Amino acid sequence: MARRKAYHQAATLLRLLFAGLIPTAAPLLETMPAHAATPATVGGRFSLAAPNGTIVTDKSFRGKWMLVFFGYTFCPDTCPTTLGQIAVALDLLGPEAKRVQPIFITVDPERDTPKVMGEYTEEIDKRIVGLSGTPEQIAAISQAYGVYSEWHRTGPGRDDYLIDHSTYIYIMSPEGKFVRGVSADTPGDAIAAILRHLMTEARNRG
């Protein structure tokens, strides 16, 4: 129960952050447990399994802008739609897409094996890397990003459940630092425009 409350608080804070309302979130910051994600600590180290069986870490993607999205392959609408828009953004970026690495992390490790994740993302866009892990690993990375997820049983069968989960795209800098969040319903052209702006800013800073 305490962990669920922490996830709810983190998710609420992130909604405020992404909406540009972070000054009003100070009281929430004061009451949030020390282990919950805050704007200054969104993201962190991880070690997860790639579809080819190799173990990748956050450092595997240094030097690229990461688009991190959490979901699951049985997701009926939000996940495939969001990943499809990320694929559109990559197409619109043209050559600059090589500087971007989209990452899809499952919140359903029981069903989403590395092989399943690989087959799923390949159907949408081969440039998207699907990552899975043990329930403990997924819980840890979810906490680091302030991701909320909750199962809802839909029938008596083993796979008869859906998962409510956070629907943000986390943009991480080439140094692995959280830059900003984007709502999952953001169209591909807007995602591409945001990334171009961030890349230009980074170049101008030298």
pLDDT of residue 157: 78
Cβ(25)–Cβ(133) below 8 Å: no
3-state SS, residue 144: helix
Q: Given the structure tokens 């998710």, which residue do they identify?
A: 11
pLDDT of residue 160: 72
Residue pLDDT, tens place only, 145-170? 989 888 887 788 787 788 888 889 99
pLDDT of residue 2 exceeding 80? no
pLDDT of residue 79: 95
Amino acid at 87: A
CA dihedral (116, 120, 122, 126) positive or negative: negative
pLDDT of residue 151: 82
pLDDT of residue 40: 54
Residue pLDDT, tens place only, 96-145? 999 999 999 999 999 999 999 999 999 999 999 999 999 999 999 999 99
The total of other beta-carbon atoms located within 10 Å of residue 99's CB is 14
Rounded distance, CA 70 to CA 124, Å? 15
Q: What is the DSSP track for 92-112?
A: HHGGGGGGEEEEEEES-TTT-
Q: What is the DSSP track for 13-73?
A: HHHHHHTT-GGGGHHHHHHS-TTS--GGG-----EEE-TTS-EEEGGGGTTSEEEEEEE-T
**Listed residue (170, 183, 180) closest to 202, CA to CA:** 180
